[in-house]
Amino acid sequence: MAAPGPGRTDRALLGQQRPGSYQVTVVPARRVIGNGWEVGMTGLANGAVELPVAHLSARVAWHDTDWTGRVCAAPGANHSCAVLKNIKENKNVDAEEEDAGQPWDKLPRGRVPPCVFERAGFMRSKSYSIVREHPYAEGGWTRSHAHFAETAHYMPAYSVEATPFRWVMREKVPEVARTWGIGYDPELEASADEIIETSQPTSWVQDHRNQLAMLDSFFSGVVPGRSLVFFYAKDVPLLQDRQPGARVLLGAGRVTGVHPAVEWEYDRKGLLRSILWERAVDHSIRPPFEDGFLLPYHQLLADPKLQGDDLNPFIALAPSVA
């Protein structure tokens, strides 16, 4: 069995010190203040560097209504979301049909659809907390992570959890770190591997210090008021012949805030610590869409005059190579 991949995650690490550990400093949240932007960059983790301003892309699951944090209106008919592995393996169509149209925050946790972990609520008009479990702690895959507890990740209204996977992939990190001069320490990963008692090597950065160095660097370039965020899906119902690697643009807006790093909660002492890879990023897309937009795919699908028509010409496909 291969090592589990990135997991689901919540509670904010505000630089608190844990028993027997050192102080961790994280990037403070940057938000709109009055009529201006607060974009000061302070408190990067050890090894992290401040990067040039960059834009952000976020993959989300297709939702048949509006991405406002509720169950699809017709869950059984939404096959486009199942192109994502997590949804394909965990979607309970019968339960979702019973809960069709219900807001996530009105459902018991076990009834919330798996698209909650695929950023399908990025247009919520109110805050929502996503309870995450570390994939290495689930099912006892390795005792090294047995002290990792469920962690609630607070997501403000009109926000998305950005996850730069490439920046925590061990195969990719050395090149990224060299390119930007980030202080990534392979010896810390070797020490983590000695603690993780499994014959299957992990593909992901494990030491929290390396995670902070890489992730703080990445998010330093996401600047409120200057960075844009582009939302895309891998499949939509309008797409008749989906090509491998296809990315369908859903909308775009301005980044309006970047929230601090969050550390996993622990229910007892352990040898390993870890940071959630996801960080909440606020965006400007909201009615009446004066500072951002969503493409009208839902309206096209609902238009009776277009039933049976080829809607491919209305799709905005992202370039295959960014």
3-state secondary structure of 56: strand
Whether the full predicted model's pTM is greater than 0.75, yes or no, is yes
So what's the pLDDT on residue 3?
Answer: 42
Judge whether 199 lies within some domain.
Answer: yes
So what's the pLDDT on residue 230?
Answer: 98
Judge whether 13 lies within some domain.
Answer: no
Judge whether 18 lies within some domain.
Answer: no
Q: Domain range holding 199?
A: 30-60+67-227+254-291
Instruction: Kindly report the backbone phi and psi dihedral angles of residue 218, in degrees, each rounded to the nearest multiple of 5, phi listed first.
Output: -60, -50
Strands 279-283 and 159-162, sheet pairing: antiparallel
38: number of Cβ within 10 Å: 14
% helix, strand, coil for the chain, step of 5 = 25, 20, 55
Mean pLDDT of 301-310: 95
So what's the pLDDT on residue 17?
Answer: 27
Per cent of the chain over pLDDT 90 is 77
Mean pLDDT of 310-315: 94
Per cent of the chain over pLDDT 70 is 84
Judge whether 44 lies within some domain.
Answer: yes
CA dihedral for 43, 49, 52, 57, sign (positive or negative): negative
pLDDT at 30 over 50: no
What is the number of domains present in the chain?
A: 1
pLDDT, tens digit, 9 for 90 and up, residues 101-149: 999 999 999 999 999 999 999 999 999 999 999 988 876 667 889 999 9
Q: Which residue in 52, 65, 56 sits closest to 220, CA to CA? A: 52
Judge whether 234 lies within some domain.
Answer: no
CA dihedral for 191, 195, 198, 202, sign (positive or negative): negative
Judge whether 315 lies within some domain.
Answer: no
Judge whether 233 lies within some domain.
Answer: no
So what's the pLDDT on residue 25?
Answer: 26
Which range (70-79, 89-98, 197-206, 307-316) has the least confidence? 197-206
Q: What is the mean pLDDT of the chain?
A: 86
So what's the pLDDT on residue 201?
Answer: 78
So what's the pLDDT on residue 242?
Answer: 80
So what's the pLDDT on residue 244?
Answer: 82
Judge whether 279 lies within some domain.
Answer: yes
pLDDT, tens digit, 9 for 90 and up, residues 172-202: 999 999 999 999 999 999 999 999 876 677 8
